Structures are given as structure tokens and as C-alpha cells.
Structure 1
Amino acid sequence: MPRLALPLLLALAAAVALSGCGRQGKLEPPPEQKLVQGQDGKSKDPGPEKPKTSFFLDPLLN
């Protein structure tokens, strides 16, 4: 058990240290995507357009 404690402690310390990396906040839209003006005057991200694909259970669900 003592042999496992040091690598486990180092792995835990590395995971905690790396968990704070990255940017916080919303993702930036791609350059070609346009923002939509909302009713309140603020710009809103419309999100990616999803292609219409059919699912084999659609006749049962509709």
C-alpha cells in the first residue's frame, strides 16, 4: 500500500493542477456564423444549425 500512495498522490495533484486550465465562459462562434439581434437589443448566439435527419422510429413518435 505505501508504494501506491506516492504515485496516487502525484496523479491526484496533477489532476487538480490541470483542472484549472482553460478559458472560462461561452465558446466563441465560428468566423462565418452571424449573431442574431434579440428583442432586448442584445446579440444572441443562434447556435449551430442541425441538419434534418430522419430516425427509424419517427412514424411512431409523430
Structure 2
Amino acid sequence: MSLRVIVAEDSLLVREGIVGVLNRQDDLDVVAVCADLPELLAAVERCTPDVVVTDVRMPPEH
């Protein structure tokens, strides 16, 4: 069974890098990718992840 992962990062380059690494893992399933806090909160409700990989400071809450 795969772990359901949400990636939340405001930098596109970093976000794509994290998703690329995670997608190479057979036991992880990236279920959502978010660029800001409102997207993250909606994705958590919608996707019920096991893990959230997130930036410590994300817009609009810098």
C-alpha cells in the first residue's frame, strides 16, 4: 500500500524537484501539489494524505 503524499512549496523549481524525487518511489503516491496555503488546506481536505511535505513559509502567510 502506497503512502499518499501532498507536496506544498511556493517555489516552482523546488516543487518540481521534490515531486520528481517522490515519483521515483514505488511506495509513495503524490496525490496533490500546492503552491500556497489555501491550496494546501483544500488539498488536505480533499485528498486525506498520509504525509504532507511542506515549506515552512508559504504565501500568503510569509
Please tell me the TM-score bracket, short chain as reference. Answer: under 0.3
Q: Which has the higher strand share?
A: 2
State the structure with more CA Rg: 1
Instruction: Give the TM-score normalised by structure 2.
Output: 0.25
**RCO higher in 1 or 2 (8 Å CA, sep ≥ 6)?**
2
